[in-house]
Structure 1
């Protein structure tokens, strides 16, 4: 399946590890049938840095074991070489290194550059859906891009443990492009510690605002709490089985857990069937409160890592 590796840098958009200009590659890719799936990483990754390059790790079809073992996102989303599924994968790198504040500023700038890329793709093929999936601070890119896009340029967004505020998401999803986009907010109480640290490091846009791990109340958004037994049962009834959590604290459980990437694959490739209304029906009315997992009396089985970083 076609895959384009792109980096959003201060000098603009560039193909990863290639001197070729991007524009003719995008023109050629416009002939590819099926959805466009844009995928990006979170904090700490840095394209071109051999130790922390996302294109060698989660955005690779054959990930290296460093900085930690992880599955291939393109492979999990249906772009493995042996797959016969349509679509265009765009593996998007941006500089998430440095301090949290430096990385966040770059994420916002990268999101503005992403808007130009998405607008170009939409202009080339307005009939083709364009989806986005990101982890942690990578979700900032989609929210920064939405207000700059024409309606219909972005179809469905999957946020995995997004390091963004609910107020930010609400504002972006009330923009013209945001109102016709769909937002799937994948959360887990395993991520509570990281939400809490994010809220103390990054000033909220509004007083008492909270990270989207606490939930998002909008008609075009749905929250999937993946450590909730009722949520997992509901997904299993739809044929979308995700393994139960095994840790009290883990920032990467949303894509490390067996079945998670398969869930996202179906959500992005079968959005006509897996509608937001279908997902909502059978979910608990509200996410579980913060710290309910960390301080639960029954110990969670250790299996997934206690992730010390926000990548």
Structure 2
């Protein structure tokens, strides 16, 4: 199954969406439809920074600690009922403030793409990183009822109030959101809150209220890794104290996301029964700083 590229322009128009209808016509009914949404610093109209050449490519044009092929991790190229992966590009370069504005403006064309897919009788999954999570949450708030299945937000740069608005929308009524968090991302969560003028808390701190459709998955916690390993989905331990990209570069995570997006998927009830309560923000960075400054004083650093 090919990897499709659909882009939002600065003017809010869609490019490349015509190929989606043709691909859906030949897609097995058991194959998931996954829309992938990048974050800050990518722009599909920039040859050097296009997500279609990096994150969304089966074989990324560059390698490094911040790049991994999302489609390959989701099973593209393996045959059978592999997913239809649609890379959704939006103008995410420039200053953080410019990208923040564009993340909101790009939600409408994404919602339009989701609506067109729903009109062909297919629900979609969403997989997003960083500010791409904000694009997805705002698109969820605008999409038609029943059009979105599962949403995986990887260290998302989005405010809590927009998550609550998305859950209250028609499409949010039967969607399920996996909020992948890590204390490696605490500094980036703080930067997002500063970008918002500290008017709200980033979703890295969770939803604060219990909701059956929302699941926080703190991937740097040792208890979380043990629980996932028990379920058959081992993930590697964090290698750094600070990282904004480990939610998709850490070995084992894309395999877990693939399982979450397949038809025979991990149920939220099963996950909740095994997963621990997330640890408070800053606890990992604080402990690591103490360990570095006073090696004999710190014990039990989160692995």
Residues paired across the two proteins, number? 284
String of CA shifts for 1:116-161, please: whole Å, max 9, x gaps: 1101101112xx3310000000011111111222211011100000
2:41 corresponds to 1:40: no
| Superposition misfits of 4+ residues, deviation over 4 angstroms | 66-69
Question: 1:139-288 to 2 correspondence within 5 Å?
Answer: 139-203=133-197, 207=199, 209-216=200-207, 217=209, 218-270=211-263, 272-285=264-277, 287-288=278-279
C-alpha change, 1:183 and 1:109, in structure 2 (3 Å) is same
Distance in structure 1 (CA, Å) of the matches to 2:232 and 2:144: 34
Q: Which sits farther off after the overlay, 290-299 or 152-161? A: 290-299
Contact 1:51 / 1:67 at 8 angstroms: preserved in 2? no
Tell me the residue number matched to 2:296. none
> Once the 2 structures are TM-superposed, how far is the Cα of residue 78 of structure 1 from its aligned partner?
1.0
What is the DSSP-based 3-state SS (H/G/I as helix, E as strand, rest coil) of the residue aligned with 2:6? Answer: strand
What is the DSSP-based 3-state SS (H/G/I as helix, E as strand, rest coil) of the residue aligned with 2:136? Answer: helix
* Structure 2 runs not aligned, ≥5 long: 293-303
Distance in structure 2 (CA, Å) of the matches to 1:77 and 1:35: 10
C-alpha change, 1:273 and 1:35, in structure 2 (3 Å) is closer
String of CA shifts for 1:212-243, please: whole Å, max 9, x gaps: 11112322100000001111111111111110
2:120 corresponds to 1:124: yes
What is the DSSP-based 3-state SS (H/G/I as helix, E as strand, rest coil) of the residue aligned with 1:139? Answer: helix
2:51 pairs with 43, 50, 54, which one? 54
Tell me the residue number matched to 1:294. 285
Distance in structure 2 (CA, Å) of the matches to 1:54 and 1:68: 15
C-alpha change, 1:228 and 1:68, in structure 2 (3 Å) is closer
What is the DSSP-based 3-state SS (H/G/I as helix, E as strand, rest coil) of the residue aligned with 2:153? Answer: strand
Tell me the residue number matched to 1:6. 6
Distance in structure 1 (CA, Å) of the matches to 2:21 and 2:191: 42
Q: TM-score, normalised by structure 2?
A: 0.89
Distance in structure 1 (CA, Å) of the matches to 2:286 and 2:205: 17
Q: TM-score, normalised by structure 1?
A: 0.87
> Once the 2 structures are TM-superposed, how far is the Cα of residue 84 of structure 1 from its aligned partner?
3.2
* Structure 1 runs not aligned, ≥5 long: 16-21, 300-311
